[in-house]
Amino acid sequence: MFRYEFQSRPASSGLRAGIPCLLLLLAFSMNAAAQDIGVPSANPADNPPQVNPDLATRSTDPDRPPAYGPEDAEVLIMVFSDYQCPSCRRINQATHQIAAEFPGEVRLELWHHPLPSHKAAEIAAVAAVAAQRQGRFWEMHDRIFANKERLDEARLEALALELGLDMDRYRADVKDPAVLERVRSEAELAVALGAINTPGFVINGKVKQGWASWPNFRSIVGKEVAAANALAEQGMDPSEIRNQRAIENNDNSETYEAYRSAVLEPRAPVAPE
């Protein structure tokens, strides 16, 4: 069963004293900006030419997978990710950018799938969810990928401290059984949908595993957007489009049913009384 449900000095002396502070502030701002657009891959083909995630809205619900793009987008991309997966790190900038490539048409959600073979991936996912509860998921997400060589509890706590999180709340959340249950149930859903490996993508119900390049990924999403738009021209609303495309994208009744019950049904519009 899948569960879900922020005394004055003389002018010349002040100027001299202020220069180092100004440089420090500038460096901090540049670092914060870099963290906010994802960790770039060493392979240029992985990275979008420009990363501007703020073209897409960000979700704010701490109890659901963090997302870019509107709730009623016609195309839903679920990314199942593992913090110790090298390919998951490679897609980091793409994850930030893809919804901004198709404003209003695409929603990207980040779901956790820590593989059993990656011993620190689960505690890293728990730390990311704890940061999400304070509205800082994407910043923590990027810092974890940037520190992939060391992901023990002490380092994750240091990253939370760098972000300025309420540390008492952070420590309580990483120990909250509900956080671990959420991470594990998301991983169970990945397997039920057929996304066994990471990164796993479920694009309107169609599972794709692994990673090729940013142009390839953008092309796949663009084709799905075109197919969804064609259904919209026939008068379907977004929920109908997502369901119809999931049927068309999935020739396995069991995985379709898992997707329908765990993903589509919970977000279906409620009929007025």
User: Could you report the per-residue pLDDT of 202-215, keeping only the tens digit for each?
Assistant: 999 999 999 999 99
| pLDDT value of residue 148 | 77
**Strand pairing of 67-68 and 75-81?**
unpaired
- pLDDT band, residue 33 (cuts 50/70/90): very low
Class in CATH terms, 60-266: alpha beta
Residue 229 has pLDDT above 80, yes or no: yes
User: Could you report the per-residue pLDDT of 53-112, keeping only the tens digit for each?
Assistant: 999 999 999 999 999 999 999 999 999 999 999 999 999 999 999 999 999 999 999 999
- pLDDT band, residue 127 (cuts 50/70/90): very high
| pLDDT value of residue 166 | 98
| pLDDT value of residue 1 | 44
- For the chain, the domains span 60-266
| pLDDT value of residue 36 | 52
- Mean pLDDT within 167-193: 98
- Mean pLDDT within 159-165: 98
- Mean pLDDT within 27-45: 65
| pLDDT value of residue 150 | 85
Residue 21 has pLDDT above 50, yes or no: no
- Mean pLDDT within 125-148: 96
Which region among 85-99, 111-125, 146-160 has the lowest average model confidence (pLDDT)? 146-160
Residue 250 has pLDDT above 60, yes or no: yes
- Mean pLDDT within 15-19: 37
pTM of the entire predicted model: 0.86
